Amino acid sequence: MAEKSRTRQPFLWGGLFCLAAFLTALQVAGQGAFRFTGLAAGTGTLDRAILLYGTLPRIAAALAAGAALGLCGHLLQRVLRNPLAEPTTLGIAAGAQLAMGAATIYLPAAMAWSREAVALGGGAAAAGLVIALTWRRGIEPVSVLLGGMMITLTASAASAALILANGEYMFSLFIWGGGSLVQQGWGATISITVTLAIVAALSLLLLRPLTILGLDDANAKSLGVALNTTRLLVIGLAVWLATTVTAELGVIGFVGLAAPALARLTGARTAGRLFAGSMLVGALVLWLTDSIVQLFSGAGGERIPTGAATALIGAPLLLWMLPRLSMLARPQMGDASAAYRAPSPRRLIVLLALFATVAILLAMAVGRGPEGWAVAMGELFADLAQWRGPRVVVAAMAGAMLAAAGVILQRLMGNPLASPEVLGVGAGAGVGLTAALFLFAAPGLPLRFGFSLLGAMIALALMLAIAAKARFGRGHLLLAGVAMGALCSAVLTSVIAMGNMQSFELLGWLSGSTNGATWADAAFAAGAAALLVLPLPLARRWLEILPLGDGTASALGLPERRCRVVLVTASALLTAAASLLVGPLSFVGLVAPHVARRIGLPVGLGHLAGAVLIGGGLMVVADWLGRMAAFPYQMPVGLFAALLSGPYLVWLLGRGVPSGPGNAT
Amino acid sequence: MSRFSLSRRGFFALSAGAWLSAFSSARASASRLAAIDWAMLETALAMGIAPVAATELIQYRKIVIDPPVPEGTADLGLRGAPNYEMLRIATPDLILSSNFYEPERAALERIAPVVSAPVYLPGSPTYTLAEDAARTIGAATGMEEEAEKLIARSAETLVHHAERLAPLKDRPVFVISIGDARHFRAFGPDSMIGDALARLGFQNAWHADTRYSAAASVGFEALARVPEARVIIVEPIPPDAGPGLEGNPLWQALPMVREGRVGVIAPVNHFGGLPSAMRFAELMAEAMEAGRG
């Protein structure tokens, strides 16, 4: 097998190289043609300038950045012993982006001084956080990736909140959404190449002792190699290289993931070959992607940002690769079997109901006005209720539905980290919504819901199909979810980059706002929640038995396939309805079942009821905070919920303890 | 409370310039207006109406600037997510909106009747839509006369500056806004600024439609497609883009940059109405004449 692929390899890479070269030649020739049609005198020098400062550096930048990202991926994967580590999956790119966004608004002088330094600060902070949180557990791969994913989503939510709060959401988001390889000089290429050379040389030097000995950690340690220092230094170098690329070009995802994997799949086996192969393949992949992007660009610019195009190519690649990777232990976060059980679940649920009620009362009565904080009573309360009422209902119902979907998915997949957000189901609903916006002039709520549902179903079905593959662990599924989320986000980014009415609406949806909620929306939310959540106790037995594994369910006489289909459909319906109302970003579907488990409701109806109450309450609080934080400016509820939940999840991951204080069982 | 804001409105009308002299006669029929859309907001302001509430005033004062919003106007927050509780406290009796905020209409109508005009439609000249928007506001507030006056004044302003700029019409013009040190966004013929440019008698060097304003960003090398053109940069310029452009060899190699045909003008509302068209014409005339001199 390996022999076969090795013999094919020169043809494959040679062919791709020729394709990229051909596309580039087409472009240069195209510019030659425009020389003859040039009107004014002096266009000859202009053509030369474009060739010299535009076309050629763009190729060089693609090659340099591709090689740099390939090397980053290789280094991170190697020292973390994690085949899916790369700048975007570890949160480095999102951290750098957030730092640059914050600096643009609050510290413009820093941005004018050095984008690279700002980006390095943000990227290093993100990587440092991920590593610090997972250090005690030996930087275990799945935890690292989950930490990276949560930091990425929290940082993206924070970036979006920054842009929204400053009212500059149109233009900046377009550029930030995807990296661009447009070049107008050699600055970026030189900066990336120099960093690449330094990082490559230093990391070779650092890794050399290990390479020569062909040792794994345990052996190296016993030989006295200062392993952890070496690892941290190499990670630092990779972060520097990755943030340099982000500062110069923006976020370019998945090259760092794809390059080492492709190098390995096409026959590179030794560390040295992988080192070189990752750079070569990375360079070729980015060059080819960018050539294709340019091929399809029109007079109005590129249709898809190159950074989004790499995700469109890279995410399916990741999905395809996953079953071929044999690694990844199961994530150790909140396992139901080992969880603490409250002595009196009933009392706990009453308390949670009280919490939800207090949250609702707070959101209904307390607010800010032109004269400051005020508690609304009597007539004013009744008057404000027509504004606060619908949004509180919508937020509460959406939170409850997301929580219920989370509980179902976690049970169904036997995976405490499954949730509509993590599995990309919410983003799938977004792609469905996008289709509705483009296919119909002004789609009403039923059409929007129908298409969102379709998107959610397709995304979830794909996830399950992948999960059904043999030897597919929990970690794989989560990463498939990450890939699915990235794929859907890339579609959304491309649409938003088109900058039309649909983009405007999609942007609003993406951030998730309950602001325009009317009583009709509230009725839809309440109706959907009642129809979908209330019957779930009937499926209680299924939810208890399915996680125990296929054999158990059949042995107990459950029509297993039918159960699964019903539950999958229910969770897709719940997700589609909820994300239509509050966007795909909230994390409530992951957090609510978790909190319920941690406080002592790990099983059965109690878990479901607890999660639903927590989800609803959390979303109401997030909505209220979103209204209060920058009054009269309103932050979208989805972003705020993500800002509340993300840090909690990161913290939880850092503790790495299965459950709460009563963890005696 | 309403008495207070009425008197403030009267005060504003007195101090806001000679062309507002007709205001007091029309005040009786003018209403307490709130504006969600910026084009509608600036049009109402230019007609002498001081809205009681409007959206995103912090940003408005930074990048629209003229006509100024009086101090007493309540800020409703983001255009995409207007704060209904604030709007309710402002007790408007009419809300100005546009086709961009159609999804909000149901919610807005719970507070006051909504008057909405399309400020951008694919295929319709944006300037004509803006004239219609002024008439729509006039009809809704009983200030038809002010609307016609604004339309006439706007047309006169454009004609005046068109004559003033006549000697400079030999070259087409790019009007752009800068995204970062590598990207810009052009105002196409279908944007308000593009339409005003055409009415000033210039050929827009950017031919592709840009859908009102929010068009995707393009690399600066696209400016080389029309090397003989002039370039007008609309502020604000991002903090890191300024120094970036100085060290950008392709930008420096562009004929318009080399031969000094680049001008920078103060911010103009990208989502504008007639007042933005006038403001643009004025700023552009100043910049062009300064550049020639």
**CATH code where residue A482 lies:** 1.10.3470.10
Tokens describing residue A237: 């170098």
Query: Predicted confidence band at A472 (pLDDT cuts at 50, 70, 90)?
Result: low
Mean local confidence (pLDDT), A191-200: 95
> Hey, of B38, B57, B85, which one would you mutate to test binding to chain A, going by the most A CBs within 10 A of its CB?
B85
The CATH classification of domain B158-292, taken from the options 3.40.50.1980, 2.130.10.10, 3.30.465.10, 3.20.190.10: 3.40.50.1980
B218, A632: Cβ pair inside 8 Å? no
Burial status of residue A141 (CB atoms within 10 A of its CB: 0-12, 13-18, 19 or more): buried
Kindly state the percentage of chain A with pLDDT values over 70. Answer: 81
In DSSP notation, B85-126 reads HHHHHT--SEEEEEGGGGGGHHHHTTTS-EEEE-S--TTS-H
Query: Is residue A328 situated within a structural domain?
Result: no
Query: Is residue A493 situated within a structural domain?
Result: yes
> Hey, of A50, A166, A171, which one would you mutate to test binding to chain B, going by the most B CBs within 10 A of its CB?
A171
With beta carbons under 8 A apart, name residues in chain A contacting B225: 34
Residue B204 forms beta bridges with which residues? B173
Query: Is residue A189 situated within a structural domain?
Result: yes
Domains B2-117 and B158-292 share a fold: yes
Query: Predicted confidence band at A9 (pLDDT cuts at 50, 70, 90)?
Result: low
- Compute and round to an integer the Cα radius of gyration of chain A: 26
B74, A370: Cβ pair inside 8 Å? yes
Mean local confidence (pLDDT), A304-328: 73
From A115, A174, A515, residue closest to B217, measured CB to CB: A174
A527 CB near a chain B CB, below 8 Å? no
> Hey, of B121, B180, B191, which one would you mutate to test binding to chain A, going by the most A CBs within 10 A of its CB?
B180
Q: Number of CB pairs < 8 Å for A and B?
A: 185
State whether A603 and A629 are in the same domain: yes
> Hey, of A175, A181, A184, A495, which one would you mutate to test binding to chain B, going by the most B CBs within 10 A of its CB?
A184
State whether A118 and A77 are in the same domain: yes
Range of the structural domain that residue A646 is part of? 336-655
State whether A88 and A232 are in the same domain: yes
* pLDDT score of A557: 65
B86, A507: Cβ pair inside 8 Å? no
Kindly state the percentage of chain B with pLDDT values over 70. Answer: 86
* pLDDT score of A5: 47
Query: Is residue A662 situated within a structural domain?
Result: no
The CA distance from A65 to the nearest CA of chain B, in Å, is: 17
Query: Is residue A601 situated within a structural domain?
Result: yes
With beta carbons under 8 A apart, name residues in chain B contacting A45: 253
A180, B183: Cβ pair inside 8 Å? yes
Query: Is residue A330 situated within a structural domain?
Result: no
Burial status of residue A298 (CB atoms within 10 A of its CB: 0-12, 13-18, 19 or more): exposed
More confident: A658 or B50: B50
Q: pLDDT at residue B291 above 80?
A: no
Q: pLDDT at residue B1 above 50?
A: no
Query: Is residue A599 situated within a structural domain?
Result: yes
* pLDDT score of A661: 32
State whether A253 and A352 are in the same domain: no
Are A259 and A83 contacting, i.e. CB atoms less than 8 angstroms apart? no
State whether A618 and A513 are in the same domain: yes
Single out the residue of A414, A367, A359, A421 nearest to residue A392, CA to CA: A359
Q: pLDDT at residue B22 above 60?
A: no
Mean local confidence (pLDDT), B142-164: 93
A519 CB near a chain B CB, below 8 Å? no
The CA distance from A46 to the nearest CA of chain B, in Å, is: 7
* pLDDT score of A390: 92
pLDDT digits (tens, 9 = 90+) for B105-139: 888 888 899 999 988 887 788 999 999 999 999 99
Give CA–CA dist A168/A164, Å, rounded.
6
State whether A311 and A403 are in the same domain: no
The CA distance from B111 to the nearest CA of chain A, in Å, is: 10
Domain residue limits, chain B: 2-117, 158-292
Count other C-beta atoms under 10 Å from residue A227's C-beta: 18
The CA distance from B292 to the nearest CA of chain A, in Å, is: 20
Q: pLDDT at residue A42 above 60?
A: no
State whether A268 and A384 are in the same domain: no
The torsion angles phi and psi of B233, rounded to 5 degrees, stand at: -95, 125
Count other C-beta atoms under 10 Å from residue A293's C-beta: 22
State whether A310 and A384 are in the same domain: no
> Hey, of A37, A634, A637, which one would you mutate to test binding to chain B, going by the most B CBs within 10 A of its CB?
A634
Give CA–CA dist A452/A465, Å, rounded.
20
Query: Is residue A661 situated within a structural domain?
Result: no
* pLDDT score of B29: 44
* Residue B142 three-state SS: coil
A26 CB near a chain B CB, below 8 Å? no
Structural domain tally of chain A? 2
Mean local confidence (pLDDT), A525-542: 90
Amino acid at A638: G
Amino acid at A313: I
With beta carbons under 8 A apart, name residues in chain B contacting A389: none
From B86, B221, B228, residue closest to A184, measured CB to CB: B221
Domain boundary among A321, A348, A379: A321
Asked if the ipTM is above 0.90, the reply is no
In DSSP notation, A329-379 reads PPP-S--GGG----S-HHHHHHHHHHHHHHHHHHHHHEEEETTEEEE--HH
State whether A495 and A427 are in the same domain: yes
SS3 content of chain B, % helix, strand, coil (to 5): 50, 15, 40
Residue of chain B nearest A51, judged by CA positions: B250
Q: What is the average pLDDT score of chain A?
A: 80
Q: pLDDT at residue A201 above 90?
A: yes
With beta carbons under 8 A apart, name residues in chain B contacting A366: none
With beta carbons under 8 A apart, name residues in chain B contacting A302: 216, 218
CA distances from A542 to A287, A536, A537, A554, B291 (A): 50, 10, 10, 11, 77
Of the listed ranges A318-332, B47-61, B249-263, the least confidently predicted one is A318-332
Tokens describing residue B21: 């002299």
State whether A313 and A359 are in the same domain: no
State whether A346 and A447 are in the same domain: yes
CA atoms within 13 A on the CB side of B63: 17
Q: What is the average pLDDT score of chain B?
A: 83
Residue with tokens 């369910």: A553
Kindly state the percentage of chain B with pLDDT values over 90. Answer: 42
Domain boundary among A289, A321, A353: A321
State whether A135 and A230 are in the same domain: yes
pTM of the model: 0.82
Query: Predicted confidence band at A473 (pLDDT cuts at 50, 70, 90)?
Result: low
Q: pLDDT at residue A38 above 70?
A: no
A369 CB near a chain B CB, below 8 Å? yes
Under CATH, what is the fold of the domain B2-117? Rossmann fold (3.40.50)
Q: Which of A84-93, A175-184, B167-176, B215-224 has the highest mean pLDDT?
A: B167-176
* pLDDT score of A337: 45
Residue of chain A nearest B240, judged by CA positions: A112
Domain boundary among A260, A294, A321: A321
